[in-house]
Amino acid sequence: MKEAIVLYPAAFFGHLISMVEFGKLLLTHRPSLSIHILITNQAYAAGPTTAYIASVSAVVPSIAFHFFPATTLPPDFSTTSPNHETLAFELLRLNNPNVHRTVTSISTDHVVHGLVIDFFCATADTVARELNIPCYYFFTSGACFLTFFLYLPTLHDNFAISVKDFDAPIDVPGTPPIQPSDVVKPLQDRYDDAYKGFLDSSLKMQTSAGIIVNTFEKLERRAIGAIRDGECVPGGPTPPLYCIGPLISSRGGDDGRSPESLTWLDSQPRGSVVFLCFGSMGVFSVEQLKEIATGLERSGQRFLWVVRSPTKDKDQKAATSEVPDLDLESLLTEGFLERTKDRGLVVKKWAPQVAVLSHPSVGGFVTHCGWNSVLEAVCAGVPMLAWPLYAEQGHNRVQLVQETKIALPVDESEDGWVSSEEVEKRVRELMESEEGKMVRERVLVMKEEAKAALSPGGSSRSALAGLVDSWKRE
């Protein structure tokens, strides 16, 4: 019988991409494997998954996608949680029968070595147990957030208050202290339904067959050491840790769209352009967009800026639905596009990020600190300005700025506002200052460490081999 691994990502585009890249990596190590990826409907419209899945299927026939029938929340479902993760947890729980049926079907003509689940998909561990299949977690974020995630039950037991009510930074093994406001929003309130979902996932992760993380040893040495030494689960078991990254998406150059951004970069001086991009979900208000435009213009720097249509709610930082396309002239400060046309380019919604970051003209990256974007910047050797918006990005900023020192911070007011003065100051600092130069030198060193980790005999290659060997033991 053929060998198989079943991968179960959460229905978020960044999580899917990372899991697919893991599947491709497994095939490079074990070409005889059959990779099966389970696809649920999304909790909300947030990414162009259909075209992406079709492109992967066309290029990698050993990866099979299994689409579940549409699942809807029951009429009596209710929650007081303001966090969209609550809906994601519930929809994934309701998909358990689909998981059971599909994995059972795959098992009829395959030896399934493991069910590899996203940390949102923790309820599927019951399916793995029922079918006597080892359950692994694939952690799409870095070890810096994993330390907090594993330590969450300890914090929950040791403190009777919510994270949002802490009046001092929180000490977590392996990482710098983190401000309560930087903690993932759903984890700030212990009475929130999403918090309960994450707490349950953390507890189940501790008894899994292993945790697979998209990172590498030299990038997060202290965090990885704390996890391996059991410091994040005091008094309890810590599963084997497999750091197999960096996994970088190999999506094509222009994704079917005009490669206008790459053509424009070809005409710019080496290392002169600041690239601003905030992921597939990052959004700003019109007022914040205008503030960014003013700061960029005053900075005098060359720039390539990816702009999404704005949100009407200034507190909303992640797009949960498709928004209508708007004219850039109406979004940005009056005359901005005309005044900056000789040194800047603004594109709508999308740019081929991996190709842009790898372009020799790009010398800096203003990022939301999504983990995929962080790894892409590291692999391209591009220093960052860290501007987190949602999810675990505040944790990532702490790691990048304070621990690894490959990014400079963008300072926000208490309500999350970033002034044009701050944008101007930080962009200049990254591109012109001595501190910016030091950050650039460190990220170039880390770029070489990333290559070494993935080379024969490197730490990530060895971790992958250890993971595959664990299947034999199972």
What would the pLDDT profile of 92-136 be if each residue is shown by its tens digit? 999 999 999 999 999 999 999 999 999 999 999 999 999 999 999
What integer is the mean pLDDT of 3-17? 93
pLDDT exceeds cutoff 60 at 256:
no
pLDDT at 280: 77
User: Span 259-266, mean pLDDT?
Assistant: 93
CA distance 16 to 18: 5
Classify burial at 69, counting beta carbons within 10 Å of its beta carbon; exposed 0-12, middle 13-18, buried 19 or more. exposed
Q: Is the pTM of this model over 0.85?
A: yes
What band does 439 get if pLDDT is binned at 50, 70 and 90? Answer: very high
Query: What pLDDT does residue 414 have?
Result: 83
Identify whether the C-beta of residue 249 lies closer than 8 Å to the C-beta of residue 372: yes
The DSSP result for 387-407, as a single string, is ---STTHHHHHHIIIIIS--E
2-247+453-473 against 260-451: fold identical: yes
Looking at CATH, the fold of the domain delimited by 2-247+453-473 is given as: Rossmann fold (3.40.50)
Under the banding of pLDDT at 50, 70 and 90, the label for residue 255 is very low
pLDDT digits (tens, 9 = 90+) for 60-99: 999 999 999 988 888 888 899 999 899 999 999 999 999 9
Best-predicted range by mean pLDDT (135-139, 345-349, 350-354):
135-139
- What is the rounded average pLDDT of the residues 327-348? 91
Q: Which residue has the tokens 């960044």?
A: 14
Q: Higher confidence at residue 382 or residue 42?
A: 382
Q: Determine if the peptide bond prior to 74 is cis (ω within 30°).
A: no
CATH second-level architecture of 260-451? 3-Layer(aba) Sandwich (3.40)
Q: Is the per-residue pLDDT at 314 higher than 90?
A: no
Give residues with Cβ within 8 angstroms of 231, minimum separation 6. 173, 174
If pLDDT is split at 50, 70 and 90, which confidence band does 253 have?
very low
Average pLDDT, the chain: 93
**Taking residues 43-72, what's their average pLDDT?**
84
Which bin fits 422, alpha (ψ -120 to 50), beta or left (φ > 0)? Answer: alpha
228-241 pLDDT per residue, tens: 999 999 989 999 99
401, pLDDT greater than 60: yes
Peptide bond into 246 cis (omega under 30): yes
Write down the pLDDT at residue 446. Answer: 98
3-state secondary structure 277-294: ECCCCECCCHHHHHHHHH
Contact 85, 120 (CB under 8 A): yes
What are the structure tokens assigned to 398, written together? 């702490």
Task: Quote the pLDDT of residue 252.
Answer: 47
DSSP category for residue 124: G
Q: Which of the four pLDDT bands, split at 50, 70 and 90, describes residue 325?
A: low
Q: Does residue 28 register a pLDDT over 70?
A: yes
Q: Can you give the pLDDT at residue 41?
A: 81
Task: Tell me the average pLDDT across 128-152.
Answer: 97
**What is the predicted pLDDT for the residue at 282?**
82
Sequence spans of domains, the chain: 2-247+453-473, 260-451
DSSP bridge partners of 304:
275, 345
User: What is the band of 251 on the pLDDT scale with cuts at 50, 70, 90?
Assistant: low
Among 174, 185, 167, 101, residue whose Cα is nearest residue 143: 174
Question: Which pLDDT does position 287 carry in this prediction?
Answer: 93
